[in-house]
Chains A and B, each alone.
Chain A
């Protein structure tokens, strides 16, 4: 049996080896294809920075999924392809359209199929967990850092990608596994500072009350989603929300004010009879990028990841990529505008699906939120994640949330960690159920998704119930 540190060392050495092979291939014009999410964007930015610094030509395109049409479009470029944060789950499909000797895949999703002549690096094949030990951007970082001298920005981006993929599953919401090695490297080189603090969203940039109202990793009934209530709450605690004409942010609070706020929030939640676990989610590990300007979204790891995520979800991965590569000015302003718009869309979709009667259907094993016509398909995944975060810790059902886009139904699945620890695999559930109705699915054990024909929804749900039941019957006892 391989122990974890052997596996990590082995993986780092494989990454170095692969970087050497990439150099020796001498590809002078490469197509970077990346997953259209924050982790994929960060992974692509790392690769693009390395290629730019080594003087290679490249172009980059983001994709939401791999299908025949996408692969044919990729083939039409007639260039060597580097897939980032996507591709492992579609090895046979890729080989059927592209020349495997001109394909590289750096990914952390579960591999499916035969890789043939494809050059691939995937943590799941090296005794590591792609869901929590390292993200797609982490894999990209471990390879491309070997091609350049200054990899400080790449280090930030690898942390951003891991946070975006919710890999902060270590103690006090910290990054663990190979991610923690990457963090340590950043700390030792002075790019990253690790602190423990509140993890409210927008701690660098948003007014306090907006920050409390916008946090989505935990729900505070009454405060989440309502800025006015949050503002009055802060005032009732005697916390100044403005300094002269400027709204204060979390970073402006003194330790005494933080104690006041903490006590106030705990009292508020105790009065509501909420479980202590829901309080615990309010604080955790913060990753601060010290070279980035104070008061910008780029300084806090989670805020940076949220910015890239917004750009990707709203269909502007190119803008996210430019910002991740270091572009500022107009594109950075545009990215922040997109982020604002994205939050509005998420908030609207969330309040709609939670309030419309009949959208919620609960069975023995599955909790379904049918968002067909209610949820904007661009924000399905965050809506599912927020609902999942608000469920009680001891809730042991599979969460399924849907949204429609023309004739297609998009499905997002979330599995409680307690079930994952006992062997439940959400990725397998999504892929098997989708395949039974002519759709496609996959992902991680804890978070997965599928795309199916809308008219097959009932059959899909029947398949989900059946496969979930089978997996429940095989769960390990802890």
Chain B
């Protein structure tokens, strides 16, 4: 028997070193929000150099935890990709 219940809500703010980087990462993660698990609503917005990520999850706190974890993992991956591309294209 695995316990699973209740509504969870989270707001996470991730700050980048400059607004342009935040915007690039934001635009790259945006399409992923369309793919949502049942009972999970997630959306993000950009505020200067910050991305604000909001999640409402009706599948228990652990589902919320994994959603946040996956989002952070995604952000990290995209940030690394953007920085690698920048380094490769800048003289």
Contacts and interface: CB of A to CB of B under 8 A. Distances in A.
Interface of A: 187, 193-197, 255-256, 258-259, 262-263, 266-267, 270-271, 275-277, 279-280, 282-283
B10 interface: yes
Give the size range of B's interface with the partner.
20 to 34
A266 B12 contact: yes
A187 B1 CA distance: 7
Contact of B72 (A195, A262, A270): A270
Contacts of B64: 259, 262
B59 to A, nearest CB: 11
Given A196-B62, A266-B68, A255 B1 contact: no
Nearest to A195: B3
A259 B73 CA distance: 19
Interface in B1-45: 1-15
Given A194-B2, A195-B3, A262 B65 contact: yes
Contacts of A196: 2-4, 60, 62
A283 B62 contact: yes
Given A255-B5, A267-B13, A279 B69 contact: yes
Contacts of A195: 2-3
Interface of B: 1-15, 60-62, 64-65, 68-69, 72-73, 76
12 contacts: A193-B1, A196-B2, A196-B3, A197-B3, A197-B61, A256-B6, A256-B8, A256-B9, A263-B68, A276-B73, A279-B69, A279-B72
B61 A259 contact: yes
B1 A259 contact: no
A271 B13 CA distance: 8
Given A255-B60, A275-B76, A276-B73, A263 B2 contact: no
B14 to A, nearest CB: 5
B21 to A, nearest CB: 14
Contacts of A263: 9-12, 68
Q: Is the interface of A mostly helix, strand, loop or mixed?
A: helix
B10 A262 contact: yes
Contacts of A270: 12-14, 72
A255 B61 contact: yes
B61 A258 contact: yes
A191 to B, nearest CB: 12
A187 B76 CA distance: 38
A267 B12 contact: yes
B8 A255 contact: yes
B40 to A, nearest CB: 13
Contacts of B13: 267, 270
A188 to B, nearest CB: 10
Given A197-B62, A270-B14, A276-B73, A262 B68 contact: yes
Given A255-B60, A267-B13, A270-B13, 12 more contacts: A193-B3, A194-B2, A196-B3, A196-B60, A196-B62, A197-B3, A255-B8, A259-B9, A259-B61, A263-B9, A280-B69, A283-B62
A259 B10 contact: yes
A217 to B, nearest CB: 15
Contacts of B9: 256, 259, 263
A239 to B, nearest CB: 13
B57 to A, nearest CB: 8
Contacts of B73: 276-277
Nearest to A259: B8
Nearest to A284: B62
A255 B5 CA distance: 8
A276 B76 contact: yes
Contacts of A267: 12-13
B29 to A, nearest CB: 13
A194 B69 CA distance: 22
A177 B14 CA distance: 39
Given A259-B8, A263-B11, A276 B69 contact: yes
Contacts of A279: 68-69, 72
Contacts of A262: 8, 10, 61, 64-65, 68
A114 to B, nearest CB: 46
B58 to A, nearest CB: 11
8 tightest A-B contacts by CB? A255-B6, A259-B8, A263-B10, A276-B72, A196-B62, A276-B73, A258-B61, A195-B3
A280 B65 CA distance: 8
A38 to B, nearest CB: 26
Contacts of B3: 193, 195-197
